[in-house]
Structure 1
Amino acid sequence: MREKLLTKFYDSGLARKAFRYYVGAWTTVTSRVPIGTNIFEREWDTLIVLDTCRVDALKEVKDEYEFITDVDKIVSVGSTSNEWMANTFTSTYIDSVNSTAYLSANGYSSRVFKERRYPEVHMGTKHQPPSWVADEFCYPEDFLLLDQIWEYAPQDSPGHTLPEYVMDRAVNVGRSLNPEHLVVHFNQPHAPYIADAIGENRELKEFEQSPFESLRQGTDRDQVWEAYIENLRMVLDQVEVLLDNHSAEKVVITADHGEAFGEWGMYGHLPGMIHPHVKIVPWVTTKGDDKENYQPELEQEHNSERDTESQLRALGYK
């Protein structure tokens, strides 16, 4: 009964309108007075961003990876990728951004930095909420390098840039450019949960393609959670290769935001979502040592015609 009432309220026109205005007010305030810790307030050489990685998920698998010891946590400056990007790479930290190579598998890097579109609410419509956000987030030319890997990497799984391509570019840029700050933004473990389907050479099951709709309809949470964990293992396997082929004294593994799996009747992640499993993200410190046992092959391409809308839609953003 409770789930039906929440779903009915969520789908109602009044809820949509109220939420749009809430997000507009939220982003207006937090763009000026951020809630959370900006990554440039911490010390690091390389920052590995795992999209939607929860603290408890990383703790669950940490014993499988030698490079993960203690899993600390911070409060993110966003509860969606575009909110995190816009509140992270701002004029306040322009000197740090100038020395940052940002490698992104997430299509919002184009939406935010090139198209200047922020924030957005995906509730079955294509409009943005009202917002009076100061245009303080950076432009592509403010970065030492803005490498949008999703634009040109092979699309073995629609919407998802596989982690091996992100790892490949990170090794290349780390060796060739040796930036003061390197940010490597993977897609995984973000839905759809593709790891098992790729390993078994099959099509995605419904709960892997649309996990949160499946949860609302009664799919077993443990089944969906395990698929999410497999996506996390999928990306951590490539992080391990990266750390063996990248020299950095201080590497941090974190997330742009987390994910709600039904706690408090909430699912997924939306702008302005203050749910603790969404706003609180991991902060793991490790290091990289280039053993030169991997040679990158993927080359950056320019003037891609790959569509941002299609890429985001494949990730579940309607």
Structure 2
Amino acid sequence: MKDPIRIITEVNRLINRRGNLNSHNKDGVDIFSKDWDYLILLDACRYDAFSEHVDLPGELESQTSKGSSSVEFIHGNFADRELHDVVYVTANPWFERLVDSINASVHGHIYCDFEPDNVTSAVLDAAEEYPNKRILVHYMQPHFPYLRADADKFHTGGDLQTTFRETDVTRSEMWDAYLDNLDLVTGEVTRLFKELQGRFVVSADHGELFGEREAPIPNRRYGHPRGIYVDKLVKVPWLTYESGSRRRIVAEPPVETESVADSRVTEDLRDLGYVA
């Protein structure tokens, strides 16, 4: 029998997406229309968690995301676009899975393991290799899995909703582990601020629910279901910080990038709690 909570989510999604006529949140910001040299995405980072917990230099505002999930965010920002002034350094497998079907292209695309220090190293290399491109950075944290939490306690092979339903983990424990993941990744952001120059923006693709209610049917959920456009999921941080000289951006045809096996993408999606 299907989980009734997930059934209600599907109804909410149909309402919010107008019967699936929309692939994403039409009210969200176009990230590529904004002024930045480095846009750093923290996956599943809520605005309230960032504003109350993160201590980074810069000016903090909020924006509305084009999605309550990475899939919607990618559809909304990348589909049918030639973004040839952008190099995308990402640990998020969804772009790799979707790029051909959404008719998107970037100048360069670098796919990383999801440990945050690996992403940072790839960004520093990309900044040197592509001095006249905008660098879009996509860390997987604070998204589940929680890297410094008890793996046996948290990791069920499913998403946050499954973890909360099938384990004795409390909301408080889950929230603390999420904030610890946020600490981990903002340490890497600090490193980028110190080692690179230009105009930085730190934001998120979407937020996360920890038992808050969906809308319009007030269904309590964990995670980030698609098509649920409540504040905890689509209100994201937008921190602007500028240091040193700006990059001089030039659009050029895409370079050839290393292909990634579909089996690896599928495995990475499973490790992140998705059924791929």
**Same fold per TM (> 0.5)?**
yes
How many residue pairs get aligned? The number is 254
* The one of 120, 129, 133 aligned to 1:180: 133
Q: CA deviation at 1:206?
A: 2.3
Q: Secondary structure of 2:140's match?
A: strand
- The match for 1:45 is 37
Higher share in strand: 2
* The one of 7, 22, 29 aligned to 2:22: 29
- The match for 2:85 is 99
- The match for 1:295 is none
Q: Secondary structure of 2:88's match?
A: strand
- The match for 2:217 is none
> In the alignment, is the contact (CA less than 8 A) between 1:245 and 1:289 conserved in 2?
no
2:265 is aligned with 1:302:
no
Q: For residues 88 and 20 of structure 2, what CA distance do their matches in structure 1 show?
A: 23
Q: For residues 80 and 266 of structure 1, what CA distance do their matches in structure 2 show?
A: 14
* The one of 175, 180, 193 aligned to 2:146: 193
> In the alignment, is the contact (CA less than 8 A) between 1:243 and 1:289 conserved in 2?
no
- The match for 2:250 is none
Q: For residues 279 and 28 of structure 1, what CA distance do their matches in structure 2 show?
A: 19
Distance 1:44 1:205, change over 3 A: same
For 2:112, the aligned partner's letter is I
Task: Give the structure-1-normalised TM-score.
Answer: 0.71
- Consecutive unaligned residues in structure 1, runs of 5 or more: 1-6, 117-136, 151-160, 198-203, 291-299
* The one of 56, 63, 68 aligned to 1:74: 63
Q: Secondary structure of 1:241's match?
A: helix
* The one of 264, 269, 280 aligned to 2:235: 280
For 1:266, the aligned partner's letter is R
Q: For residues 35 and 271 of structure 1, what CA distance do their matches in structure 2 show?
A: 15
Q: For residues 108 and 130 of structure 2, what CA distance do their matches in structure 1 show?
A: 9
Q: For residues 274 and 50 of structure 2, what CA distance do their matches in structure 1 show?
A: 24
- Consecutive unaligned residues in structure 2, runs of 5 or more: 214-219, 246-255
Distance 1:89 1:284, change over 3 A: same
Q: CA deviation at 1:70?
A: 3.9
Task: Give the structure-2-normalised TM-score.
Answer: 0.81
- Could you tell me the percent identity over the aligned residues? 27
For 1:281, the aligned partner's letter is V
Higher share in helix: 1
Q: For residues 26 and 185 of structure 1, what CA distance do their matches in structure 2 show?
A: 30
Q: Give the ranges of 4+ consecutive aligned residues of structure 1 lying more than 6 Å apart after TM superposition.
A: none
